[in-house]
Chain A
């Protein structure tokens, strides 16, 4: 994946760039908004990581300018501010995701992967499949190895979130935002308890485990051997 990192703080930029490179991505760097805009205007990137506070042209302005020019490269904002309206502001400017500093690197990586591999809107699938697990999005039914599994509505959404991104890591906060629309981090391990309940229904009575815990990052669903 080709990623453009626009960040003026050299230490953060080094840290992020090193991590992304180790994860197998190609990283270009820009240290101010104007340089970032010039590089990103080609549209040759799979994802943009943009700090909100940048010299010359701030992150919001950069993404706004890109969107105005028709560049649709997914953009993730990094910010040191966790203000109440800041996230909405970032999304309204044309950003696709929002991450508050300081962040765990695994979180950034998982979110970037999710952004860059967003399924195209056209050709929306009606059935999701992972291994022998099948989800019918129209009938709202789930079956594994032909056997029907009864899920509560929220369990269904949680499983759907994972199945739409097979093999990709979903972090706790991504699940909180994507499934429950929670934009804060509860102290109680609510995600863990939901996942373990889902596992009891989806994995327990079947041989192979589909829902995996990715240590220090989150959860992923994948077919055995996949």
Chain B
């Protein structure tokens, strides 16, 4: 691979791709593997043949040496002649030289002068050139014996093996290249598919997802993760769009009312104008109230308030909220029944929980039956934690509607003309979610029962205050 950073010169794009590197690496490994395999094969075949040849030469030399010890040089000469006669076209070569250098027997034209192993090239034989492996030894009586064998079979085997290695190497090169390209292209193709899908999302097709097989490889897992992120983004965008639509829809009515009032004030008599402006200010305050509630919900949903969570006295909060709405309930001739277990603590933002419970009690007082009964209770839950219950005996909420009342601006048709902003329960839900409290609506037969399950505060809680 080329060294990284070549004096700032940029390599072409494809050289930097993972696909190219994978191809190259695959090829290199395939070739290395083939080379190692060939090395082993070489050693096992050629090496074996050469060693076998040497062993044959050594053995024959040993036999002739024994003949020399028994019968001297003449015996050796006879033995050599016999061997040559038994194998006329063979690959065995011999030379028996007298101590003065004269040839006594054998068919070797040249011979090494020194004892030991050597390789000779023979000229002028039946073949143009013959290579032999020769072993020279001095016999006890001073004669010099050389035994040699033609290396042709070994050389032949070598040539065959080289040819085979060439084929295998070529095949490995080809397969490695093909495999590498296939793998590289696979990587490149899937990366390109992911890139294309993401580009489509970026261009606005937010519903587009990356190709991902279930239980697949790391690419599939990565694609799955990206898809989950996109799902979440899409949900958030849908939520934002929903809120924007809701705001546009729900604020148009009060804003047009405001405009009518101001128009009437501009054209009417002065005494009427003063009242109209007063009404307009009230309308403005209502609109501002809606904005504040929306911002607060958004802020609570953002989760930033978690940083300032503390342990607080939930019993005190429930009591205070019930107490605040006491006279309001009285005004509607309702009985406000309060049962608060003392000393129950919770973990969270005291102000937000107060507002959540106030919204619930306010709803109960507002939508409960006139002259009826509103119940506010705090009880310890069996598995730790506590449950706050707010119940009324008003019209209640049909079971089919219960899931929807937590949405922003959702109001039952019956309540649409009332003064509420339609945000009270949405805020309550947001606060409950922030605190990991479960909020549950049920039928109070008649009326609505809201139960908020409050988890116990964590044991590890800073220094006592």
Binding site for B on A (CB under 8 A): 82-85, 88, 100, 102, 154, 180-190, 193-194, 196-197
Residues of B within 8 A of A102 (CB): 288
Distance in Å: Cβ of B127 to nearest Cβ of chain A? 102
| Separation of A12 and B349 alpha carbons in the complex (Å) | 32
| Separation of A71 and B419 alpha carbons in the complex (Å) | 46
Known: A82-B292, A190-B327, A194-B327. A184 touches B305 (CB 8 A): no
Taking a contact as CB atoms under 8 Å apart, the answer to whether A180 and B324 are in contact is yes
Taking a contact as CB atoms under 8 Å apart, the answer to whether A187 and B419 are in contact is yes
Residues of B within 8 A of A197 (CB): 327, 330
Taking a contact as CB atoms under 8 Å apart, the answer to whether B362 and A187 are in contact is yes
Q: Is the interface of A mostly helix, strand, loop or mixed?
A: loop
Residue of chain B at shortest CB distance from A197: B327
Taking a contact as CB atoms under 8 Å apart, the answer to whether B289 and A185 are in contact is yes
Residue interface bits B124-166, CB-to-A below 8 A is 1, else 0: 0000000000000000000000000000000000000000000
- Offer 26 A-B interface pairs, CB within 8 angstroms, sorted by A: A82-B292, A82-B295, A82-B296, A84-B304, A84-B351, A85-B305, A88-B308, A180-B323, A180-B324, A182-B324, A183-B351, A184-B355, A184-B358, A186-B324, A186-B362, A187-B289, A187-B419, A187-B421, A187-B424, A188-B366, A190-B324, A190-B327, A193-B327, A194-B324, A196-B327, A197-B327
Taking a contact as CB atoms under 8 Å apart, the answer to whether A193 and B358 are in contact is no
The 8 closest A-B pairs by CB, nearest first: A193-B327, A84-B305, A184-B355, A193-B328, A197-B327, A188-B328, A190-B324, A188-B362
Most chain B CB inside 10 Å of its own CB: which residue of A180, A190, A193: A190
Residues of A within 8 A of B320 (CB): 180-181
Residues of B within 8 A of A182 (CB): 324, 354-355, 358
CB < 8 Å neighbour of A193 from B292, B331, B351 = B331
Residues of A within 8 A of B366 (CB): 188
Distance in Å: Cβ of B326 to nearest Cβ of chain A? 8
Residue of chain B at shortest CB distance from A196: B327
B325 at the binding interface (Cβ < 8 Å): yes
Residue interface bits B342-373, CB-to-A below 8 A is 1, else 0: 00000001011011001000100110000000
| Separation of A82 and B292 alpha carbons in the complex (Å) | 8
Taking a contact as CB atoms under 8 Å apart, the answer to whether A85 and B308 are in contact is yes
B18 at the binding interface (Cβ < 8 Å): no
Residues of A within 8 A of B398 (CB): none
Residue of chain B at shortest CB distance from A181: B320
Taking a contact as CB atoms under 8 Å apart, the answer to whether A154 and B288 are in contact is no
Most chain B CB inside 10 Å of its own CB: which residue of A85, A102, A196: A85
A82-B296, A194-B324, A194-B327 given; 5 more Cβ-contact pairs under 8 Å: A84-B351, A180-B324, A184-B351, A187-B362, A196-B327
Distance in Å: Cβ of A200 to nearest Cβ of chain B? 10
Most chain A CB inside 10 Å of its own CB: which residue of B289, B327, B354, B419: B327
CB < 8 Å neighbour of B300 from A84, A183, A185, A194 = A84
Distance in Å: Cβ of B77 to nearest Cβ of chain A? 117
